Each structure stands twice: as C-alpha cells, then as structure tokens.
Copies of this chain bind each other. A is one copy, B any other.
Amino acid sequence: MSSVGSRHRSLRDETVDEIRRLILDGELAPGERLSELSMSERLGVSRLPVREAFRRLEAEGLVEALPRRGVRVVELDQHELDTVREMRVALELIAVRRTIMKADPQVRATLRDLLEKGNAASAAGDRETLDAINDQFHDVLGEGSGSRFLCEVLRSVRNQAHHLVGGKSNAVEPSWSEHAAIITATLDEDEELAMMLMRRHLTQRHANQGGLHRSQA
C-alpha cells in the first residue's frame, strides 16, 4: 500500500516548498526576478526541478512568468490584497460549514486534539508550540471540508494573504482564543456561531493595520 515511491518526497516538491518558503518569509522580495540558474545553484539542484517548481508557483499565484525573462515574485497592490482577503473569508466560511456538515469522526478527533494541545500550550505560555498549532488550525478545517480542491485553493489564498505587501509584513498574530472558540463551535456543530466567529476572526483585524495583536491572553 504505502510503497517507497509514495513515501518519497520528490526533489521538485522539496524545491517548490523551499522556494515558497523563501517567498513567504520575504527572503525573496516582491518584484524580485528569479533566474533558473541562480535558484538551482542556491538550492543545490539542477535547473529542471526549479523549472517545474516555477510552473507550480506560477499557478499558485506567487510568481508570474515574464516571457523569455523567467519569473518574478508577484507584488500585490492594496486592491488585490483586499480582493484576496474577501476571497479568503468566503472560502474559509465554506470550509468551516462543510466541515461541520460532514462531521467526520477523524476530523473531529483531530480538532479535539488540537483544542486540547492549544489550550495547554496557551496556558503554559509556550509560544512556539502555539504557533505551530495555530498554523495547523486552518489546515485542518480545509481538509475537513472533504474537498481536496477547496483545500488547495484555500492554501493558495492564505499564502497570498500572508504575502508581503510593499516589502512590509502583512501577517497578523494569530489569536489562539479565537481559534479555540471556532473549534469549539465546530465540535458543537453550531454552524451559525462557527461561521460568525470565523468571519470576525478574518475581518476584524485589518482595520488597525499594523497594530499589536498580542493583547490576548
């Protein structure tokens, strides 16, 4: 069943993940042009995996192809960013609703586990663990929706939303308390509440752009 091949992560997948990380971490700046050769040298792989990775990231909207001139890390203007955020709200709402509708035991167990661990890490003030758990939160809801396509698109949309704008970070400090409330509502199968919390979770915070979000316990 689980053959060697399906366990093996191909070099191109690693390459995709690594370049994606470089972009999202801002090590590759928006607008920066990437050449196959320099990227292949930087990552220590041949040009071929890099080329395939570029195609993939192009489809994800993280880079754009410049004919005969390689690719460039995309820059988002404010309008584009607003649109992406709106897309994200719409799709996250669909995801959480479908997760509740499906009520998959496996997913519910994962959510319970996440809730427990998150509460523990939060109480212990273990920020590192909490960050990891916060990252997992949306992923689980995406997968819980039962649609691979929705999950993939959501991932792209989130990456866009976290993408740097004009060189400055656009990421907001995730709030565990909000995540915890959404998980609880989801486990309670309270569709209306879960969606309401999710909407607020995603919209509320952009009014005071750049403000501090560590005020939660």
Contact = CB atoms under 8 A, between A and B. Distances in A.
Contacts of A98: 83, 86
Interface residues of A, number: 40
Nearest to A84: B149
Nearest to A62: B149
Q: How many monomers of this protein are in the complex?
A: 2
Interface in A41-63: 48, 51-53, 55-56, 58-61
Contacts of A52: 51-52, 55
A74 to B, nearest CB: 8
A145 B87 CA distance: 12
A213 to B, nearest CB: 25
A79 interface: yes
Contacts of A171: none
A91 interface: yes
A80 B48 CA distance: 33
A90 interface: yes
A87 B80 contact: no
Interface string A53-97: 101101111000001110000000001100110110011011000
A147 B67 contact: no
A6 interface: yes
28 contacts: A5-B68, A6-B68, A8-B68, A10-B67, A48-B51, A51-B52, A52-B52, A59-B60, A61-B148, A61-B152, A79-B147, A80-B146, A80-B147, A80-B148, A83-B94, A83-B98, A83-B146, A83-B147, A84-B149, A86-B94, A86-B98, A87-B91, A87-B94, A87-B150, A87-B153, A149-B160, A153-B153, A153-B157
